[in-house]
Structure 1
Amino acid sequence: MSLGQELAPHLPFLRRYARALTGNQTHGDAYVRAALEAIVAAPGDFPRDVDARLGLYRTFQRIWASTNADDPADTVIDDGESESIAQARLAQVTPRSRQALLLTAMEGFTSEDAGYLIGLTASEVDTLVADALAEIERHTRAEVLIIEDEPIIAMDLETIVRDLGHGVTGVAVTRDEAVAQAMAQRPGLVLADIQLADDSSGIDAVKDILAEFSVPVIFITAFPERLLTGERPEPTFLITKPFQRSTVKAAIAQALFFDLQTVPA
């Protein structure tokens, strides 16, 4: 199997990580493209002492570090207003803390592997993750709409949201119900499943909501391939079921971190 074939299954998830790290699909994809170009230009430099996924993320991290993207002043966000807000929040969370949080909670790397990727020990990674979650939670607050037709999962998500200090505007189980609830009380964040109770689509529900107002969205689904297609737009935040509570917490923190409408705590 060629190196390209080994890396291909991991690219959608690297794009997810890059978008979450930058808060922007265009710039996240640009860093992924730069990493791939570096691999093509010097395939002999690709880490072969680790598995392909770890080597891919390691190459990405090297590109990210070489562009000084860890400096909050250089972080690329969508526009001037969001840039100033994101910079203020970034000042509260160190760059390595954000990376440690995303690599472990969202990408599923062990603390040891995350440490390999960013040059730290496992215990240092664990400390950074705890610090990042605590700091972001102190600086963001939102009302959350949950679109989920499985009662147990919906209850679990609601508990996670409230434990983080956020409110819940409601739980919707169909497309029409989700849109109606969003119009009645505009949420500051949406957690959405794809496949809903009446065979309607959470994707369509989110499209309807976004046609009316802007709001960050986190898709939580057992069918990530329906969204990680390489076409635009792709969701910045995507969690695969079954999920870990820490993964949901990390995604919520990161989504609100880059959102203009989030109320400072």
Structure 2
Amino acid sequence: MEQYTGHFMQHLPYLRRYARALTGTNGRGDALVTRTLEWYLEADEAETGRGGDLSRGTLYRHLNELQDEEGSPPAVAPYHPVESALMTLEETDRRLYLLVNLEDLPVSEAAAVLGIAPEDAMERLNHARERVRARLTATILIVEDDAIIAFDLAETVRGMGHIVCGNAATMDEALSLAAEHRPTLALMDIRLADGDNGLEVARALRARRFLPVIFVTAFPDDLAKHGLEHLGPVIPKPFTRDQIEQAITRAVFMPQPEDAHETAQPH
């Protein structure tokens, strides 16, 4: 029995890592690993492979079976972007992604764990990777009438791997670009060309649909003066690239409010 336990313990760090990712929490993951150890020690040798070389794939498969029996959906950390992206996948594709990308299994072995054909697994994995990549890429609208600052913001956005869908210097340009590209975030100056005001742009965008806004402005007190702090966080000018990057990361991966996908009512 001690020999069998030693075989299992060689795989323990990998099993805990996968089980925690599978369930979404450390506690639930460790509970699955404990139940898998009990199964390994008590079940028939032919079922567990206990009499020969112990396969990690066999243990991963049993972890999946236990998770299916439990029937509880995996938990997801609301501020963890990769976990949030993976939760948009079908469960088989999520597990395939974890087995290959987290556990470093060859696609053929991961396919065997999940009971699917290797060619099907490769197609599903490519689809899953593309879905995750797209989910982690934001489309950002820049609303700024200073060309040099707009260029600097755009370079920062692209350097993070996100997409700049356009730069607007006026309210009409901003609303037109937003309607055409449906961005996931806007970087917004307050004082714009032609006397336009970024606060009104943000309110107009919220009236159409929910869109997170980060105000990048030399007039940070304007939101408080008008009681509009709820429209978004403020980065005062002059700013650093680190400030912009941190704000974008928080905004892109922050859980949206319950009515985020509903049309907001104008104030």
TM-score bracket, shorter-length normalisation: 0.3 to 0.5
- Structure ID, larger Rg: 2
More contact order relative to length (CA 8 Å, sep ≥ 6): 1
TM-score, normalised by the number of residues in structure 1: 0.46
TM-score, normalised by the number of residues in structure 2: 0.46
